[in-house]
Structure formats: structure tokens, C-alpha cells
Amino acid sequence: MDLLSKINERSATIGIIGLGYVGLPIVLRFCEEGFKVLGFDIDDSKVKKLMSGGSYIKHIPSENIKKCLAKGLFEATSDMQRLKEPDAIIICVPTPLTDKREPDMQYVEGTAKTIERYLRPGQLVSLESTTYPGTTEEILLPLFQAKGLEAGKDFYLVFSPEREDPGRKDFTTATTPKVVGGVTGQCLEVGAALYSKIVDKVIKVSGTRAAEMTKLLENIYRAVNIALVNELKMLCDRMGIDIWEVIDAAKTKPFGFQAFYPGPGLGGHCIPVDPFYLTWKAREYDFSTRFIELAGEINTNMPYYVVEKAGEVLNERGKSLKGSKIIVLGIAYKKDVDDQRESPSLRVIHLLRRRGADVLYNDPYVPVCAGHRHYPDINMKSVELTEETLKGADMALLATDHTSYDYAFIERHAQCILDTRNAFSKNKINSEKVNRA
């Protein structure tokens, strides 16, 4: 039976490499549709957790994992030799930046080389990791063809960018349209058929480069617009204008405007990282992406602005930043999730410490903060948010506006507050204690 028939009859086995924020939701969707799924991860602790029916991602209930295991549809493994078993292999590995803000392709390249070792005729390989245009054709395709296999005939190769937004409730994996590009027309047909089984709508594009660029455009669009409101926030601060009031007024226009909101900096795996994949690739074409780089510069600078503002607020109270005790509220990169990747809170904590502050943090979703490669010095545990903790700190710095925070309680007991998310105003708390940054 050919692969297309197996997909249509749901008898194809699906392999997912990388069982994190992107890979695990895809595992669950395929299992929900009756496919047998083999999940691969080099982290043995993740494999053991999943095989015991546990989830290590806050917004994914363990019950969902247990259902897949009980139906005999899911198995997790760290044994890459088993890559010959799946009929379709989906790559969901990290694509971070190096210290020089250049693409770090070690995970994609390493995974591709491993797949090449076990690739057999009839398999489909889909790359979902966000990357620069040309990655699929320049790295994966030559590697697989070197085995003497022809794309579109002996194996199928597509790029289909992930569109996960952890914690989002209005759109799910199933209801978010899936963009797919293939290196050949037949590759596209098979890839689109596969994804059509787990999403409501598949968007076919002309090739893998167009699909890769689509994902970058989505995230660059957000990065640039967030940079705009971040810059306006700093200007409005000097001018004595409330930027949040301005945004709320502007968004009443029923056309031509979409609201973006300022914050302490960008977080998550996508928006702070992806634009630099394109700026790097653009140099190959002797092209400078000045607009994107300027946006990156503004967003990267926001934690510095927050720390400077913290120093100003403390100074007005007759205290210096050095020696002050500051409790950072929220270390996840956005509210109501446990995802710490590229969180601006990490940079804020690092900078506060460098200025001599004594820093604590509280986050109901993140009990331990450690293991970040850019911040090896940060190894902390969340402290309990009590009356004593708040009164004992010179400042409560709100970096992530979790819904579960009792903002009235925080305002009542904190000595002073620096709010980077306008959360206290949103909760109708207006107090002389609250300063915004």
C-alpha cells in the first residue's frame, strides 16, 4: 500500500521528533484521529514522564496523554534507530540563535543526519521548526538524495511551519490553518493529505521556501509592531501621556488599525528569534533588512528600560537600586503559561543583579527557574507571594500579568510597584504605589 493510501485509511504510523511545546500537541492530534504515533526525544526524563502518563507542559493535561496510551496509539522513545518504523516523520526541534545572533542549526542538522541514516523508501519527512528560507532544500534535500533516493518518488519532503501559541484557548491545533510547501508537487500532495487529517484547513504554497518565508513574515509582523508600541511607550513616558489609553482609543477605529501592546521585552521561542534568521539569510543576497534589525534593537533594549525605570522609581523613594530587594512577579514569557523561553524576565533579573539588587521571583506556573543557556547564573525557586514577602521587598516588579495574581492583595501589601503590563489599571486598581514602565 502506498503512503497516500495509508494516510487516507489512517493506517500510517506517525513519528514526531521533539516532544515539547510544538511536538506534543501534534502527537495528541494524530492520536485523536486514530493514528498510531511514535514520539522521539533525546531527553530520557521526558520519555519516562510521557510513558507514565504525565505531562510536563502546564496547558496540556496529563489526562490527554493517558488517553493516548490507554488506546495503544502512543509510545515515546529516545531510540532513534526506530525512525525506520514511522511512515511519516515530523521534525519539531529547536532553532535558537547563537551568542552572535546567528541561526543555530545544530538541532535541525543533527536530526536530519539521524533521519538520513534510517530513511527508507516511501517515507514522508516534514520540517516544522521555524527557519530561514532555503533550509529544507539546502540542508535536508541533498542529505536525503545522497542515499540515491529521489524526492517525490522514493520519499516525500515538505516544510510546514508550526503555529503553536501556548495557552491560547480561542484557536487550537485543529482549528489553526496549516501552511504546507513541498519540494515537488507529489511531495506537496502527500504532505497536504497528512495534515488535512488533523487540521480543518490546509494552505498549499508553491514550495518549501515560500512556506518558510510565510512563518517568518507572521512573526516579523508582530515583532515590528510590538517594537513600534514599545518605542511609543518610552516616548509617551517622557511626554506624560498614557500609552495604554492611546492604544485603547486608537483600536476603536473599525478599520486600518490592529492593537499591539508594549511590555518588558519579547519572549517565547518565535518572535525574539525568528526575525534574525531572515536578517542572516538576507546577507547572502547582499541585502540589509534595516527595518527588522531596528525593531529587534528596540525590543532587545526593553529590559534595560525597565531596569532604568526601576532605578528612577526607587530613587524617588530615597533608595538606590544597589542593595534594594526586588521581587519580580512572573518569569514566564507571557501570562498563564509555564514557558520561560527567551522570557524578558530573565534579562531583567540578570540586569537587576548586575546593578547590585537582591532579586526574588514569584510565578505560580514556574516553581524553578534554571538551566537557561544564556543565563547560567540564574538558578532560583519561586517564593510564596505572602504579605510578609511583599512588605519585605523594596519593590514588586510585575513582568508577567498572570490572571491568577490577586492584584488588590499585591497593591495592599507591596511598598511600591513597577507595572510593565498595565495590569493594575486593567484590574481597576489606581494607586500612588503603582508606577508603569
Catalytic residues: 270
β-pairing, 74-77 vs 36-40, is parallel
Please check whether residue 83 is in contact with residue 114, taking contact to mean a CB–CB distance below 8 angstroms.
yes
SS3 per-residue string spanning the chain = CCHHHHHHCCCCEEEEECCCCCHHHHHHHHHHCCCEEEEECCCHHHHHHHHCCCCCCCCCCHHHHHHHHHCCCEEEECCHHHHHCCCEEEECCCCCECCCCCECCHHHHHHHHHHHHHCCCCCEEEECCCCCCCHHHHHHHHHHHCCCCCECCCEEEEECCCCCCCCCCCCCCCCCCEEEEECCHHHHHHHHHHHHCCCCCEEECCCHHHHHHHHHHHHHHHHHHHHHHHHHHHHHHHHCCCHHHHHHHHCCCCCCCCCCCCCCCCCCCCCCCHHHHHHHHHHCCCCCCHHHHHHHHHHHHHHHHHHHHHHHHHHHCCCCCCCCEEEEECCCCCCCCCCCCCCHHHHHHHHHHHCCCEEEEECCCCCEECCCCCCCCCCEECCCCCHHHHHHCCEEEECCCCCCCCHHHHHHHCCCEEECCCHHHHCCCCCCCEEEC
